[in-house]
Structure 1
Amino acid sequence: MIVNLLRFRFRDDVTEAERDTVLEAMRRTAGVESAAFGTVGRDLGDPADGFTHAYCVGVPDLAALERYLHDPVHLAGDDVILPSLARLSAVRFTDDADPDTGAKMGALVLAKLAKYPAWEQQLNAIPG
């Protein structure tokens, strides 16, 4: 299992209705066929960390991760989600014993960045 946990905060100018739209887009992304589980909600960590919400998704393996990264629902969701975020931090972990899993995951992300340069620009615009 590969787990991706995102902690984030919305930009100050994002309205409550826009927040709801973003959270719904995240729920759709977390529910794609390649995801084994997913959840979206309030971040319960230290408020001093500057995060208000969290997104967590688990995918069974690298093949599922590749499908997840390129799923049309995920791609469309990112165009709604990313412009609304003021801060974003990711933690990824796995129970896969292969010592190269992290590098293989990185290669999948690099391939997506190469294929979708606008996605990379959107990500780079959000402070960590």
Structure 2
Amino acid sequence: MIVHLLRFAFREETTEEQKAEVLALMKRTASVESVSFATVGQNLGDASEGLTHAYCVGIEDLAAMERYMHDPVHLAGDPHIVPHFAKVVIGPDVSDDPDPELRTKIMALNEAKLAKYPDWARQMATIPDVRIF
């Protein structure tokens, strides 16, 4: 199992209604076939980090991770979600898979997605503060 964590903050100009829409879209993404379990909501971490919300999904394995990344529901939601992010912290993800190369393999899947979907790559580049752990 791969547990993928995304913590984030909305842009100042994002309204409460838009925040609710983004969270609903994220919940829809979290319900795709490749996701075993998920939670979307408030971030309970250190408030001084400025990360107000979190998205966490459990994905069975690397093959499911690839399906998740390319799922049409995921791809359709991102153009409506990403523009509202001011700050995103991805990870640290965790896994019970003992493969020491798993992180490298996941990052390679992400790089392949960036290459395959240049519009998505451009969208991701608009987020002012992105950190990957």
Aligned counterparts of 1:8 and 1:89: Cα–Cα separation in 2: 6
Partner of 1:112: 113
The offset of 1:3, in angstroms, is 1.1
Aligned counterparts of 1:80 and 1:89: Cα–Cα separation in 2: 19
- Would you say 1:28 and 2:21 are equivalent positions? no
Task: Report % sequence identity.
Answer: 55
Q: Secondary structure at the match of 2:22?
A: helix
Q: Secondary structure at the match of 2:100?
A: coil
Q: Secondary structure at the match of 1:13?
A: coil
Give ranges in structure 2 of 5+ residues lacking alignment: none
The offset of 1:49, in angstroms, is 0.3
**How many pairs were matched up?**
128
Partner of 2:48: 48
The aligned amino acid for 2:11 is R
Aligned counterparts of 2:104 and 2:29: Cα–Cα separation in 1: 24
Partner of 1:67: 67
The offset of 1:44, in angstroms, is 1.1
Give ranges in structure 1 of 5+ residues lacking alignment: none
Aligned counterparts of 1:45 and 1:124: Cα–Cα separation in 2: 25
Offset from partner CA, 1:42-83 (integer Å, 9 cap, x none): 111121101110000010001100000000000011111100
Offset from partner CA, 1:75-128 (integer Å, 9 cap, x none): 011111100111100102211101111111111111100001121122222113
TM-score in terms of structure 1 length: 0.96
Partner of 2:37: 37
Aligned counterparts of 1:13 and 1:102: Cα–Cα separation in 2: 34
